[in-house]
């Protein structure tokens, strides 16, 4: 059986016929070619597949596509604006907050959602917001510093 769903992805409206068990991450990667969203643990633990659903970070690996029906999805591909990196992305570069890069899209989505809601989070608030994203290369110091530098400037936009 298939379900008809409509959703917005990065500002563009789409209609899909999905199976009840198809996940959002598979829809994004396979049908839309948006491979910036990474698939890793498949258990909602690591955060590599984080996207925003109506502005809130979610694990797209354990979210069924049907659950995104009627919602607006934002992936890493839409974080840059007019071909320019966002302040969070710039800060990750400047602080060397990315090494292998696999976790980076998830961190950037999570940090961008935090800063959209709270443009000047404290260090503790940043650590709290990022605690569910796992990095196995750099450690977290540079990542937190990168987000802190944007928080001091005043938000992601």
Residues in touch with other proteins (CB under 8 A): 1, 3, 19-21, 23, 42-47, 50, 53, 56-59, 61-64, 66-67, 110, 129, 131-134
User: Closest separation between CB of residue 56 and other proteins, Å?
Assistant: 4
Q: Please choose, from the candidates 31, 129, 13, 118, the residue with its C-alpha nearest in 3D space to the C-alpha of residue 73.
A: 13
Q: Please choose, from the candidates 127, 128, 156, the residue with its C-alpha nearest in 3D space to the C-alpha of residue 144.
A: 127
Residue 140 to residue 132: CA distance in whole angstroms: 12
Please identify, using beta-carbon distances, which residue of 30 and 94 lies nearer to other proteins.
30
* Distance, CA of 116 to chain centre: 13
User: Closest separation between CB of residue 126 and other proteins, Å?
Assistant: 12
Please identify, using beta-carbon distances, which residue of 43 and 84 lies nearer to other proteins.
43
Residue 146 to residue 149: CA distance in whole angstroms: 5
User: Closest separation between CB of residue 98 and other proteins, Å?
Assistant: 19
């Amino acid at each position: 059986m298939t379900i008809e769903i409509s959703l917005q992805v990065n500002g563009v409206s789409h209609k899909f016929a999905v199976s009840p068990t198809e996940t959002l991450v598979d829809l994004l990667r396979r049908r839309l070619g948006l491979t910036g969203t990474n698939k890793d643990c498949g258990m909602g633990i690591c955060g590599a597949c984080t996207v925003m659903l109506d502005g809130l970070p979610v694990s797209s690996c354990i979210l069924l596509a049907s659950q995104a029906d009627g919602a607006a999805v934002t992936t890493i591909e839409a974080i840059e604006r007019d071909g320019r990196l966002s302040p969070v992305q710039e800060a990750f570069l400047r602080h060397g907050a990315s090494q292998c890069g696999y976790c980076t899209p998830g961190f950037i989505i999570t940090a961008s959602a935090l800063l959209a809601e709270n443009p000047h989070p404290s260090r503790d608030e940043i650590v709290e917001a990022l605690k569910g994203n796992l990095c196995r290369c750099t450690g977290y110091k540079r990542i937190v510093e990168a987000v802190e530098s944007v928080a001091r400037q005043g938000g992601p936009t």
